[in-house]
Amino acid sequence: MKTFKLENETKIESGFKTPDNYFDNFSAKMMERLPMNEPKVISIFHRRKNLFLLIAAILVLALLVPTLYNYSTPQKSNMDAAALENYITYQTNVNQYDLINVLETEDINNIKISMVLEDKAIEDVLSLNSNLENLILE
């Protein structure tokens, strides 16, 4: 390969040339071409302030929605009867005496059922029940 030396080769001249004395009065010509009235300047900080207000409002709403939802929904104070019965049935450490101690007189009056049992029906149940001794002891 032939060695290439930059200084020895012919150089191509640029196709762009500036006119003579172009830069001497360039700034004066440029100032003449600029418009006399200046455009309205809008501050970046003004938009930023609105953005901060928007973010703060969204944050306040995000924090208030769960709180307002909890206050607006009614709390279920009374339990479902089936759930309560299942709980009492499957808890082996709860006996009738515990229930009697917890119940108030109003609750006991609500539990009372006016059911008339005939003597024949009672005799039939007692004769068919093999746990008669347990019932007597309780």
Return the amino acid letter for 137. Answer: L
> Phi and psi for 113 in degrees, rounded to 5?
-115, 130
Q: What is the CA radius of gyration of the chain?
A: 49
Q: Please report whether residue 22 resides in a domain.
A: no
Q: Is 26 a member of any domain?
A: no
Residue 62: pLDDT band by 50, 70, 90 thresholds? very high
Confirm whether 75 is domain-assigned. Answer: no
Q: What is the pLDDT of residues 81-106, one digit of tens each?
A: 788 778 777 876 777 788 778 888 88
Measure Cα distances from 64 to 54, 55, 58, 59, 75 in Å. 15, 14, 10, 9, 19
Residue 128 covered by a domain: yes
In a domain? residue 122: yes
Question: Which residue segment(s) compose the domain that 105 sits in?
Answer: 81-137
In a domain, 15, yes or no: no
User: How far is the C-alpha of 66 from the C-alpha of 85, rounded, in Å?
Assistant: 33
In a domain, 90, yes or no: yes
Higher pLDDT, 61 or 128: 61
Whether 109 maps to a domain, the answer reads yes
- What percent of the chain has pLDDT above 70? 89
Minimal CA–CA distance to 25: which of 36, 33, 15, 14? 33
Instruction: Identify which of 84, 80, 113 has the alpha carbon closest to the alpha carbon of residue 99.
Output: 84
Please tell me the total count of domains within the chain.
1
The pTM (predicted TM-score) of the whole model is: 0.25
